Amino acid sequence: MMKKILLYLVLTFVLSGCAGSTIPEGSKTSGQPVPQHQHTRSPQTQIDLSLRQGDYSRALRLLGALQEQGGWNQQFEDTWAQAFAGLLAQAEQRLAQKDYPVAGRLYSDAIDNLQKNSARLARRERDLLQLNKQLDYCADQLLERGLLVYRSGKLQQALAIWEQINKFHPQHTASQRAINTTRRQLHNLEALSAE
């Protein structure tokens, strides 16, 4: 892993003309540096780079933007399928590692991507149902994790766990109720200690 990071940094340094790396504002990356001049590359080059880096969410966002701009052609359908499969593989891997916040975000990205294209959605309706189940599962696991912490009296920590659910599944009603109840309890405890 360290060799890959070092190789990437050296290549970034050489290819960028000795300029540093930055992450463009507003981009969601997989934690890997993005060369500063990347925004000047063609969409295809940016998509290919995202695929090589394993940042499938970004590749899908770039493909979506390309489609909205009317630059879509049939070759991108295969690229989309590759990126979508990579995203699902990452989500499954994170789920197996019980990294529910990241798995949930990846499933949410997959759902959003499917919902943005009605023709693709019609062909993958079963996928969408399964993705929603996985999203709910990630949220439910975090809800349970938060409840264990809550029962031990660590309200702030429980709240932090439940707020992670909001980042990928803001419609999860059980976590919303838990957040609201815990915030009220914390507010009441603060009011009591102030008296």
Q: What is the pLDDT of residue 79?
A: 92
Nearest Cα to Cα of residue 64 among 45, 84, 49 = 84
Q: What is the pLDDT of residues 59-114, one digit of tens each?
A: 999 998 888 888 777 788 889 999 999 999 999 999 999 999 999 999 999 999 88
Contact indicator for 47, 65 with CB cutoff of 8 Å: no
Residue 36 or 169, more confident:
169
Q: What are phi and psi of 72, to 5 degrees?
A: -80, 140
Nearest Cα to Cα of residue 109 among 160, 89, 192 = 89
Q: What is the pLDDT of residue 24?
A: 36
Rounded average pLDDT over 5-16: 40
pTM: 0.74
Nearest Cα to Cα of residue 115 among 106, 126, 128, 104 = 128
